[in-house]
Amino acid sequence: MPVSYSQASDWIRAFAATVAENKVYLTELDSAIGDADHGINMNRGMQAVVAKIDGISGPDIGALLKTVGMTLVSTVGGAGGPLYGTLFLQMGTSAAGKSELSADDWAAALAAGVTGVQSRGKAELGDKTMIDALAPAVAALQAALADGSTFDDALRRSAEAAEGGMKATIPLVARKGRASYLGERSAGHQDPGATSSWLLVSGAAEAFSGEAGQ
């Protein structure tokens, strides 16, 4: 079952609600190894996103995703704005002109977004950043689809991979961003960017599953 414009819009709104619910938790994670503002900044950005997408009604999913990206770039401070903005802008470019997304379309869009984030932030797997959740999510999604899995199963495996990647950041020593200034002291803390990225991917799995569309 392809992803409709309304499902894509619902996913964005659900992510905004989840960020609001987890604002304090994300900020607490960031206070250990960063600027103590990730949850606050992401919540401000996503509330601005919801206000912005209320004014558009489709059917271009690519345009929707680009609007999200541009809004985040202009409203979110710190590293999160440019990185999450790039994620959505590149996803929007990949999905440009599409009123629905097939499983392969979604995989291509997510992969394009993650490539954009890596290019912008120069982070690799293991650097203790949002890439540690996003890269495994893309790999698991692509592998599941290549294996002939259903879209629902591929989405579930993608979310599980993101969660595993997020948890794997705990023992890592940060090599990028403000957390890298702490050196060895950054170990033992879960990365806030990887955490919000897991929320994003798991939200997509929920919003795009066959059950959600019924």
In this predicted model, what pLDDT tens digit does every residue of 68-85 receive, in sequence order?
Answer: 999 999 999 788 899 999
Q: 61: closest CA among 204, 157, 194?
A: 204
- Exposed, middle or buried: residue 146 (CB in 10 Å: 0-12, 13-18, 19+)? exposed
Q: 3-class secondary structure for the chain?
A: CCEEHHHHHHHHHHHHHHHHHCHHHHHHHHHHHCCCCHHHHHHHHHHHHHHHHCCCCCCCHHHHHHHHHHHHHHHCCCCHHHHHHHHHHHHHHHCCCCCEECHHHHHHHHHHHHHHHHHHHCCCCCCCCCHHHHHHHHHHHHHHHHCCCCHHHHHHHHHHHHHHHHHHCCCCCCCCCHHHHHHHHHCCCCCHHHHHHHHHHHHHHHHHCCCCCC
Q: Looking at the predicted structure, is the pLDDT value of residue 197 above 90?
A: yes
**Confidence category of residue 1, pLDDT binned at 50, 70, 90:** confident
**Which has the closest alpha carbon to 23: 42, 9, 2, 49?**
42
For the cut 70, the answer to whether the pLDDT of residue 163 exceeds it is yes
User: What is the rounded average pLDDT for all residues in the chain?
Assistant: 95
Q: How confident is the model at residue 213 (pLDDT cuts 50, 70, 90)?
A: very low
Is the pLDDT assigned to residue 107 strictly greater than 70?
yes
Confidence of residue 119 (pLDDT cuts 50, 70, 90): very high
All structural domains of the chain, each given as residue ranges with its CATH number in brackets, are 3-208 (1.25.40.340)
The pLDDT confidence band at residue 22, using thresholds 50, 70 and 90, is very high
pLDDT value at position 139?
A: 98
To the nearest whole percent, how much of the chain has pLDDT over 90?
92
Does residue 121 have a pLDDT over 70?
Answer: yes
Q: What is the pLDDT of residues 122-149, one digit of tens each?
A: 999 999 999 999 999 999 999 999 999 9
Is residue 193 over pLDDT 80? yes
Tell me, what's the pLDDT at 211? 55
Average pLDDT over residues 182-209: 96
Kindly report the pTM of this predicted structure: 0.96
In whole angstroms, what is the distance from residue 200 CA to residue 140 CA? Answer: 15
Is the confidence at residue 50, as pLDDT, over 90?
A: yes
